[in-house]
Amino acid sequence: MTKHKTLFLTQRGLQHQQWAMEGAPAELELIMRRGASREELLALLADAEFLITERTGVIDAEMIAAAPKLRLIQRLGRQTWDIDLDAAQRAGVPVCYWPIEGCVMVAEHMMLQMLGLLKRVREAMHVTAEAADYGVETKRGDEDTFAYNWSRRGGIGKLTGATVGILGFGEIGLELVEQLQGFHCTVLYHKRTRLPESVEAQLRLEYAAPDAIAARSDIICSLLPYQGPQEPIDASYFARMKPGALFVHCGSGATVDEGALLDALRAGHLAGAALDTYTYEPLRPADPLVQAVQDPTLNLILTPHIAAGGITAGGHSRTQDYDNILALLAGRELRYRIA
């Protein structure tokens, strides 16, 4: 069988790299690199037929010129502003993006977290299931007979018009912004490398430092990657957040000081918090988070690291990474082509 040399440029950790390698079709000779030097990349491109890339740096004219055998540039995700499309067109190399289904689902999960906290869903479900007597007579409803807010709940908010800050902006952040646009939110973001101004304007984003995001945001969405043994979102950061703000987290585990988060929540400084990843997984009964979530009035939502969907580790995305390459080899139409 002919093997087609495929260079896969990634920022994934070793486990995720392994899943991608395992999902590669037999037709491909896959070479995966994280953090390679430019010299090494130019050398590897010399006989590469396919280039798969995940926001790992600019794909410029020199790189495209160094790859005379190149048949396709496949960007995983929808961020394509760092690919020289003109150079690719001159070279006759098609360029495609590919929406990452797991990222779409994580963004949807963050919408659930935000709306669930704003509407105090856990407390509302508890109150409803409790069916307590609030001194209101039960009657059959019609257009003029109803018992609106019979339990006299307060603190119910709205997402429309809120200021939302995103810490760590990659593919999930992009998908989240797309979903927030219908709510007319002001969106602040921070990432290590600022987006081009043209992209910020297109997405209606405002770049801000983490402290400014803390001070201005009604809701902070944490999508931070793992950064070492010290959690970057700690007690001092929670203290800098607006009183009554919400905190939601679908970033890497071990990036949030969970004890400090509980302190801020119990003190009333934060109005709610939702987590999908944790410093120690799976959660066990003795974990303070598990103890805290027993109180439905605390406005704390915990989910068991499922934001990307109910799939096994690695998931279906590892085969989708190669779908356009297989389509090209089979003479089928490319999907999500932009050049």
Query: What is the per-residue pLDDT across 162-209, written as a single tens digit (0 to 9) for each?
Result: 999 999 999 999 999 999 999 999 999 999 989 999 999 999 999 999
Q: Mean pLDDT across the stretch 307-321?
A: 66
The position carrying tokens 């009333």 is 268
Is the CB of residue 167 less than 8 Å from the CB of residue 237? no
Of the pLDDT bands very low, low, confident and very high (cuts 50, 70, 90), residue 229 is confident
Of the pLDDT bands very low, low, confident and very high (cuts 50, 70, 90), residue 311 is low
Q: Mean pLDDT across the stretch 253-258?
A: 97
Query: Is the model's pLDDT at 331 over the cut of 60?
Result: yes
Query: Is the model's pLDDT at 314 over the cut of 90?
Result: no
Q: Mean pLDDT across the stretch 47-73?
A: 94
Query: Is the model's pLDDT at 146 over the cut of 80?
Result: yes
Work out the mean pLDDT of the chain and round it to a whole number.
94
243-282 as b/e, with b when 16 or more CB fall inside 10 Å? Answer: eebbbbbbbbbbbbbbebbbebbeeeebbbbbbbbbbeee
Query: Is the model's pLDDT at 32 over the cut of 60?
Result: yes
What pLDDT score was predicted for residue 312? Answer: 55
- Judged by average pLDDT, the poorest of 3-7, 202-206, 225-229, 274-278 is 225-229
Query: Is the model's pLDDT at 100 over the cut of 70?
Result: yes
- Strand 4-9 relative to strand 28-33: parallel, antiparallel, unpaired? parallel
Provide the residue count of the chain.
Answer: 339
Query: Is the model's pLDDT at 315 over the cut of 90?
Result: no
Is the CB of residue 274 less than 8 Å from the CB of residue 117? yes
What pLDDT score was predicted for residue 319? Answer: 66
